[in-house]
Amino acid sequence: MTACHDVEGATVAVAGIRRVALVGSPNAGKTSVFNHLTGLRAKTGNYPGVTVARSVGTTHVNGTPIAVEDLPGTYSLEPISPDEQVVTDLLAGTCAGIDPPDAIVLVADATTLRRSILLIGQVLRLDLPCLLALTMGDELASRGGRIDTDALSTALGIPVTAVVAHHGSGIDDVRTQLASFAQWQRPPVLPPAEPDAIDAWGQSVLDAADYVAPQPDRRTQRIDRVLLHPVWGTVTFFAVMFYFFQVLFTAAAPLRDGIGHALTWLGGQVADHVGNPVLRGLFSQGIIGGVGTVLQFIPQIVLLFCLLAFLESVGYMSRAAFLMDRVMAKTGLEGRAFVAMLSSFACAIPGIMATRTLPSSRDRIATIVTAPLMTCSARLPVYTLLVGLLVAPQTRWWGLSAQGVTMFLLYLGGGLSALIAALLVKSTILRGDLLPFTMELPPYRLPSPRAMLAAMWSAARVFLRKAGTIILATSLVLWALLNLPVREAQTRGMSTTDTTAYVMNHSYAADVGRAVEPVFSPLGFDWRTDIALVGSLSAREVFVSTLGQVAAASDPDAPQAALATMTDDHGRRIFTAPTVIALMIYFMFALQCMSTIAVMRRETNTWRWPAFAFSYMFVLAWVMAFIAHSIALGLGA
Amino acid sequence: MRTQRQGAGEQTDPVIALAQLTPGTRATVVGTAAEANPVIAKRLGQLGFRANARVDVVRRAPLGDPTIYRVHDTELCLRRREAQLIEVVPEADR
């Protein structure tokens, strides 16, 4: 062992870090093995030219680092889509800019070995050093199946290690073996290439390993009898979705408020200790405020990913997709897109990140560019303000609270428009996908805390690092627009709120607001509203506080009273019913969220799709708001 | 186009589409329909719907589509459109 280490130590020094690729079918436990090997330090990115996420981590064997790459799950090395082509190209060394790996760790689920033996055969034909990590051996035994791993190793001609991904047993064994992949046993004869011959080869290997396939999982059958029942299944589905949102909104709110309070306190400290008013504003509003926008999203995103990971690792997510596939098929998407759309009701960012489970890149992009139409939680404060300006709290329509009905209609409008937009996108620019809809329904399993932690951590990290930088940069720019130039001379002796209002109404943002006023005046927005629209480009809820500052409201976060009586330069009320309706409609459609744009860029690996989404949503928002404004004016509202 | 009718020698067995079977029945795959797109036929084969494979029809979704099948020890769901392309010989009695 020591001798071969020295030899490899030399190769590392010469050829750089050695690379191992994990190859396996979807659901084989590949990502679990990857997480165990690399811990939580994986780097994620995209493969060149496609929207397939790439994750590379490092594992240390006796102090030597080895790069481990988690390839996308695949059933075969004969790809039928450009996304699947990535795995084949990478292993063959024909992927632009990426060298083939030095060795392959095949990951296969022992309970479905009859299917994955084909992939194993194809990978062996690449003639690279190969090791088979066989997962779910415990489940195979408990369901009445069996396999002789030593005999399997002999029959395949490569080392085989049993791994229980759930608690990580066998992982150390795999790691130790990685140190000496050059010494791994190689098959004396490669498996045949012809489809019929490879079937026979697979059968002979399984026979030699004394393989007995498992019985169907009784527990899964019993649970499915209820959870997929026409009546009980549907009831459970809606109950699960209901509690999903309950937990999301109620549990994340205190955490978000806690972060908010902590940042307010920090801002107060800055205000007390920084003398220069411009610097003070920059620190307390620009930086702390900007970072705050990012941080306040974190609890909800982490919680959402925790719930998604729980439902996924238990096995319910594929059942939900199965139940909803018929509905999603009407939009040209598939059941799995439902999960992404649903998450977008909380926030489009995790929704967009959840599209990674979709095998078809056209479906993925169609979902990414339409999910932001779903009524996310950032619209809630905007809608609350606007609904309050439009209808009085005691007004009742058909015996129901008019505010509640309006809010419901806004939510419904968002949801329907996302589905309609998906239908349009899928039947025009993203038409013609050959990939058939196929989805595996794994047996119900107890969730692995480690897998859930990994999912939460990667989501939070992606959001903090990638979206965080863009959000911080834009909030700094917006702060500068809203607060510069400095008006110290003019505001001397004014109260704080009046100062804020004066500075804002004479800022660069006001110039922008006046410059874009002709664009928005057909919708009934005057330049003060436009300042808030410009401000809300960073995040929708900024609309409320910006408008509050523009109107010099005593509490900028609850500016309703000040806004209701606000007048324009000619003394007319600004927030008339048609204008408020137009604003609601505008916010229903417009993509006023830098974080979403940043995540879209990240997930699609190009600026083209975020640019497309921003443009079509702006046009849609403007046209629909114009129509709504005109109708409301015509009706004399 | 490519056809994979290996068991077509047994004339007595009626060959029907997998989509026509009701949940609870079992069948043996004969091949994929001649009119099937070769790419889709390839994928269905990779998933286990190959000649001589046993398929159990497990359950249909409450809205009528898709349907869960058990093939090669895995439960998979297919839409009617794809299940229509898989030719099977149903097992008489279970």
Inspect the interface and report whether the beta carbons of B63 and A327 lie closer than 8 Å.
yes
Interatomic CA distance for residues A487 and A506, integer angstroms: 8
Structure confidence by residue, pLDDT tens digits, A412-435: 899 899 999 999 998 888 776 667
Interatomic CA distance for residues A170 and A133, integer angstroms: 9
Question: Which chain B residues have a beta carbon less than 8 Å from that of A85?
Answer: none
Q: Is residue B17 part of a domain?
A: no
Position A460: which residue type? Answer: A
Whether A290 and A365 share a structural domain: yes
Interatomic CA distance for residues A421 and A341, integer angstroms: 12
Residue with tokens 């417009």: A590
Å between A342 CA and nearest CA of chain B: 19
Q: Is the pLDDT of residue B9 over 60?
A: no
A22 touches A87 (CB < 8 A)? no
Task: Dig out the tokens for A554 from the structure.
Answer: 């005593």
Domain boundary among A462, A489, A504: A462
Question: Which pLDDT score, from 0 to 100, does residue B12 have?
Answer: 60
Which of A199, A234, A439 has the CB atom closest to B77's CB atom? A439
Q: Is residue A83 part of a domain?
A: yes
Domain that holds residue B78: 25-90
Q: What is the per-residue DSSP string for A591-614?
A: ---HHHHHHHHHHHTSSHHHHHHH
Question: Which pLDDT score, from 0 to 100, does residue A471 have?
Answer: 67
Whether A370 and A519 share a structural domain: no
Q: What share of chain B is helix, strand, coil (3-state, %, to 5)?
A: 15, 35, 50
Burial class (CB in 10 A: 0-12, 13-18, 19+), A442: buried
Question: Which pLDDT score, from 0 to 100, does residue A4 have?
Answer: 35
Interatomic CA distance for residues A266 and A263, integer angstroms: 5
Task: Dig out the tokens for A257 from the structure.
Answer: 């408020």
Structure confidence by residue, pLDDT tens digits, B55-78: 999 999 999 889 999 998 889 999
Structure confidence by residue, pLDDT tens digits, A101-153: 999 999 999 999 998 998 999 999 998 999 999 999 999 999 999 999 999 99
The helix/strand/coil state of B77 is: strand
Whether A442 and A470 share a structural domain: no
Whether A454 and A508 share a structural domain: no
Question: Which chain B residues have a beta carbon less than 8 Å from that of A436?
Answer: 40, 43-44, 78-79, 81-82
Residue closest to A424 by CA, chosen among A241, A585, A619, A587: A619
Q: What share of chain A is helix, strand, coil (3-state, %, to 5)?
A: 65, 10, 30
Inspect the interface and report whether the beta carbons of A228 and B37 lie closer than 8 Å.
no
Which of A78, A213, A326 has the CB atom closest to B65's CB atom? A326
Residue with tokens 């979807």: A26
DSSP symbol at A287: I
Closest Cα in chain B to A74: B46
Q: Is residue B47 part of a domain?
A: yes
Question: Which pLDDT score, from 0 to 100, does residue A252 have?
Answer: 72
Cα dihedral sign, A252-A256-A262-A265: negative
Whether A38 and A182 share a structural domain: yes
Domain boundary among A462, A477, A497: A462
Specify the pTM. 0.80
Q: Is residue A387 part of a domain?
A: no
Interatomic CA distance for residues A134 and A138, integer angstroms: 10
User: Is B92 an interface residue toward A (CB < 8 Å)?
Assistant: no
The helix/strand/coil state of A126 is: coil
B positions 13-32 inside 8 Å of A (CB): none
Question: Which pLDDT score, from 0 to 100, does residue A2 have?
Answer: 35
Interatomic CA distance for residues A75 and A79, integer angstroms: 9
Pairing of strands B74-78, B67-71: antiparallel
Q: What is the per-residue DSSP string for A246-266?
A: HHHHHHHHHHHHHHHHHHHHH
User: Is A111 an interface residue toward B (CB < 8 Å)?
Assistant: yes
Interatomic CA distance for residues A383 and A228, integer angstroms: 37
- The CATH number assigned to the domain holding B52 equals 2.30.30.90
Whether A493 and A629 share a structural domain: yes
Q: Is residue A388 part of a domain?
A: no
Q: Is residue B35 part of a domain?
A: yes
Q: Is residue A225 part of a domain?
A: no
Cα dihedral sign, A523-A526-A527-A529: negative
In the sheet where A53-61 sits, what is the strand order?
A43-46, A53-61, A64-70, A18-24, A103-109, A130-135, A160-163
Domain that holds residue A479: 463-634
Q: Is residue B71 part of a domain?
A: yes
Q: Is residue A301 part of a domain?
A: yes
Whether A108 and A125 share a structural domain: yes
Whether A468 and A520 share a structural domain: yes
Which of B39, B59, B78 has the CB atom closest to A438's CB atom? B78
Tell me how long chain B is. Answer: 94
Question: Which pLDDT score, from 0 to 100, does residue A238 have?
Answer: 87
How many other CB atoms are found less than 10 A from the CB of residue A41?
A: 9
Q: Is residue B10 part of a domain?
A: no
The helix/strand/coil state of A146 is: strand
Inspect the interface and report whether the beta carbons of A195 and B75 lie closer than 8 Å.
no
Whether A82 and A166 share a structural domain: yes
Question: Which pLDDT score, from 0 to 100, does residue B26 have?
Answer: 93
DSSP symbol at A345: T
User: Is B75 an interface residue toward A (CB < 8 Å)?
Assistant: yes
User: Is B2 an interface residue toward A (CB < 8 Å)?
Assistant: no
Whether A471 and A500 share a structural domain: yes
Residue A485: asked if its preceding bond is cis (omega within 30°), the reply is: yes
Residue with tokens 């806690």: A258
Q: Which residues contact A404 (CB under 8 A, 6 or more apart)?
A: none
A45 touches A54 (CB < 8 A)? yes
Q: Extract the residue ranges of chain A whose pLDDT is less than 70.
A: 1-16, 40-42, 44-46, 48-51, 248-249, 285, 289-291, 293-294, 297, 432-434, 462-463, 465-468, 470-471, 552-558, 569, 637
- What's the structural domain count of chain B? 1
Whether A166 and A37 share a structural domain: yes
Inspect the interface and report whether the beta carbons of A323 and B70 lie closer than 8 Å.
no
Whether A190 and A69 share a structural domain: yes
DSSP symbol at A212: B
Residue closest to A553 by CA, chosen among A492, A493, A495, A488: A495
The alpha carbon torsion through A126, A185, A206, A123 (nearest 10 deg) reads -10
Helices A218-227 and A232-273, packing angle to 10 deg: 90
- What's the structural domain count of chain A? 3
Å between A545 CA and nearest CA of chain B: 45
Question: Which chain B residues have a beta carbon less than 8 Å from that of A80?
Answer: 39-40, 42-43
Any idea which of A254-258, B6-10, B41-45, B71-75 has the lowest mean pLDDT? B6-10
Domain boundary among A184, A215, A246: A215
